[in-house]
Amino acid sequence: MRALPFYSGGLNAETYDLGVARGGPSGDEDIAFYLALARRGGSRVLELGCGTGRVAIALAAAGLEVVGIDSSVGMLDGARAKAASLDAETARRLTLLEGDMRAFSLDRTFDSVLIPARAFAFLLTPEAQMACLTQVHRHLRPEGVLAIDVFDPRLDWCLPEASGSRTDESYDPVSHRRLRVEVLDRRNDVLNQVMTERWRFSEIDSAGTVLRREEEQLALRWTYRYEMRHLLARTGFVEVVEYSDFTGSPPAYGAEQIWVCRRK
């Protein structure tokens, strides 16, 4: 079975909101953090890697004007399906666009830019990370706020021989079927700080019959905190603050790296 790129569509994108094995924040504890951050700076918000609209829709419902960009058509389909059921006023405040966070160009600036849920880790080289941050700088007003969430790498997971095999299951209340998510293997490129995993998604009925099975390949770059500080400084961001969770805890090994800074 040929593995497709991650979030290219199919079961992975369709079942993303179930949260099975995807990592990142558990529940929606990050939404209150981003909402408070955005409200302090103004009403115009840009979210990069908006996915199925979990954060973008919540912020629009809270009264902010939100533009969400994602490169995955499958994930955007999920976001647009949810947006279709919004009241007219909330829907007016939400714009969803297909685009690349390294090379987008909009004819407006924003009060804040958010890159939640480890989406920044999909940029696999320092050059790609720099390109993204440069575009963010261009689209932020002076003193505008940038917030980024990435994982802090656990070094035992980054060794050349590290194995990432695991299995998770969940019940889908919409389809009344089980979703099984298996991480089959992991390859770590320690020179370039890139982990590549092969994931299998299976949809299973009540009798245990596999109805659909698909494989996708996930590639993420782990970034050390000193690298993040260097990248942000080089691309014109100041007042750089780091937290390890969405309650404002100080940096901690193996937790989240949550960065908040301002455009110089």
Q: Where are the domains of the chain?
A: 9-153+223-263, 155-221
Q: What is the CA angle 118-123-128, rounded to 5? A: 140
Report residue 157 as tokens: 């997971």
- CATH number of 9-153+223-263: 3.40.50.300, 3.40.250.10, 1.10.10.10, 3.40.50.150? 3.40.50.150
- Compute CA distances 58 → 43, 50, 229, 256, whole Å: 13, 11, 29, 22
Q: How many residues does the chain have?
A: 264
Distance between CA 31 and CA 59 in Å, rounded?
8
What pLDDT score does 54 carry?
94
Give me the pLDDT at residue 241, please. Answer: 98
> What is residue 3's predicted lDDT score, i.e. its pLDDT?
78
The two three-digit tokens of residue 182, written as one number? 């298996």
pTM listed for this prediction = 0.94
Q: What is the pLDDT of residue 26?
A: 58
Structure tokens at 180: 């099984």
Each residue's pLDDT, cut to its tens digit, for the chain (264 residues) gives 677 899 987 899 998 888 765 665 656 789 999 999 999 989 999 999 999 999 999 999 999 999 999 999 999 999 999 999 999 999 999 999 999 999 999 999 999 999 999 999 999 999 999 999 999 999 999 999 999 999 999 999 899 987 778 899 888 887 889 999 999 999 999 999 999 999 999 999 989 999 999 999 999 999 999 999 999 999 999 999 999 999 999 999 999 999 999 998
Give the whole-angstrom CA distance, residue 179 versus residue 20. Answer: 8
Strands 65-70 and 177-189: unpaired
pLDDT score, position 232: 98
Tokens representing residue 45 in the block = 């918000």
141: left (phi over 0), alpha (psi -120 to 50) or beta: beta
- The order of strands in the sheet holding 256-263 is 94-98, 65-70, 44-48, 110-115, 140-151, 256-263, 237-243
Q: CA 21, CA 23: separation in Å to the nearest integer? A: 6
Quick one: tokens of 31?
């939404």
**74 neighbors 10 (Cβ within 8 angstroms):** yes
Decide if 187 contacts 163 (C-beta within 8 A): no
Confidence at residue 24, expressed as pLDDT on a 0 to 100 scale: 59
